[in-house]
Amino acid sequence: MKVQTLSAPGVEAEAPAVAIPRPARSNINFLESLSVAVNALRANKIRSILTMLGIIIGVGAVIAMIALGQGARKAVEDSISALGTNLLMINPGSARQGMVRLGAGSSIRLNEDDLKAIQTKVTGIQAIAPELSRFGQLKYDNKNWNARVVGTTPDYEFVRNARLEKGTFFTRQDDALRQRVAMVGPTVVENLFEPEEDPVGKQIKINNISFAVIGVLKAKGQQGWMNQDDIVVIPLQTAQKRLLGLDFFTNINVQVADISLMEQVSMDIEQVLRRSHRLTGQEENDFSIRNQSDIMATRTETAKTLTYLLASVAFVSLMVGGIGIMNIMLVSVTERTREIGVRRALGARKRDVLAQFLTEAITLSLVGGIIGIGLGVGATILMSKLAGWSTLISSGSILLAFIFSATVGIFFGLYPAKKAASLNPIEALRYE
């Protein structure tokens, strides 16, 4: 049965209530946010490029500075390793007479007795090579050159890592017979011989005494103020008896069997030399022992500090780039206030707006980071080729710079994104 609704005469019946549907909440996924972000950035290309510029320079500077610092560190390690491994260097001098400290070349000498005492009384030594070093005048045909002449034993090859580019090393028999044979460094070859000339087999004069060149040493490069390639190596007995007329050593090089024994061997050598030189408990050593591991650790630590310093300066520029992103995003929020209001009215949630603006900031930062990586690698290669600086690009530094650029985008984009998400929809729609 139909139920009829009656109304009083002259009074209209009320229409039944109709439910007005509310806008459905939109769920904006990441790909949609990314697409909108890219379109927003493309709409303002110049502003987007200028915004990314700080990130580009920052990331490029981080990679270039870290590469420069790591290259300096590796150069130090290679330079010290070229001296030899597990090396202890014993030098004469360093004694005090009154208030004056004697240096190397003073009246204190290291001699054969010291060498034999170390060889017989100290354990843990793998090889030992004494040196007698003086500068000498070299001559070949009409060319002259002044270089360091080192008289030593065949163990020098292993103790001081003196590898040969060509030829052979002299033997113990050559040393015993005082043969006039020599091995020359690359700098000597460059200054005495023609570019295509093979030095091996040629006769050179050292202080007007003829020597046969039997080998060419591999390049080692600069070590502090000393060019390790500007050298001539001859047998020790030849240097002492035939060339220089000296019976002492400039220094003694000791190769320790294992790096863990360095400190103990150094202490044992000190005790042996103190007894050999008849030093009492109150007297200072008239010799010095340099530990190569300590030298390497000190210089490597210095290079590491330099790396951190350079990277810190670069990170500051990256932070400045992040501040630039935040400023531009705040301007963008102001310009797009009405757009935000429309999106909120259509059902976008606060987190959707937050995600949208945060995605834009991160996109700016990541694109800038990718371009900055290319810039940093290119700058590093230029520094290496044009300036001749030692550089080392590592995947770790590239990854660090990329992650940091993304972090900068999140950190400096979060505040503008939160500000956009917190806008009142009604007020945003009224914004002119």
What pLDDT is attached to residue 431?
67
CA 163, CA 229: separation in Å to the nearest integer?
12
Q: Is residue 254 within 8 Å of residue 128, measured between CB atoms?
A: yes
Residue 272 tokens read as 């042996």
Q: What is the pLDDT of residues 135-147, one digit of tens each?
A: 999 999 999 999 9
Contact 151, 236 (CB under 8 A): yes
Question: What secondary structure letter does DSSP report for 206?
Answer: E
The one-letter amino acid at 19: A
- Let me know if 24 is exposed, middle or buried by CB neighbors in 10 A (0-12, 13-18, 19+): exposed
Q: Give every residue of the chain whose pLDDT is below 50, as ranges.
A: 1-27, 95-106
Is the distance from CB of 163 to CB of 303 less than 8 angstroms?
Answer: no
Q: How far apart are the first and last CA of the chain?
A: 58
* pLDDT (tens digit per residue) in 194-243: 988 999 999 999 999 999 999 999 998 776 667 889 999 999 999 999 99
Is residue 88 within 8 Å of residue 130, measured between CB atoms?
A: no
**Residue-level pLDDT at 75:** 72
pLDDT for position 243 = 93
Check residue 272 and give its pLDDT. 92
Distance between CA atoms of residues 237 and 176, nearest Å: 7
* Model pLDDT, residue 403: 85
Q: 182: which 2 tokens?
A: 């020599």
The pTM for the full model equals: 0.60
Ramachandran region of residue 197, left (φ > 0), alpha (ψ -120 to 50) or beta?
Answer: beta
d(CA 297, CA 303) in angstroms, rounded, equals 10
Residue 117: both structure tokens together: 């005492």
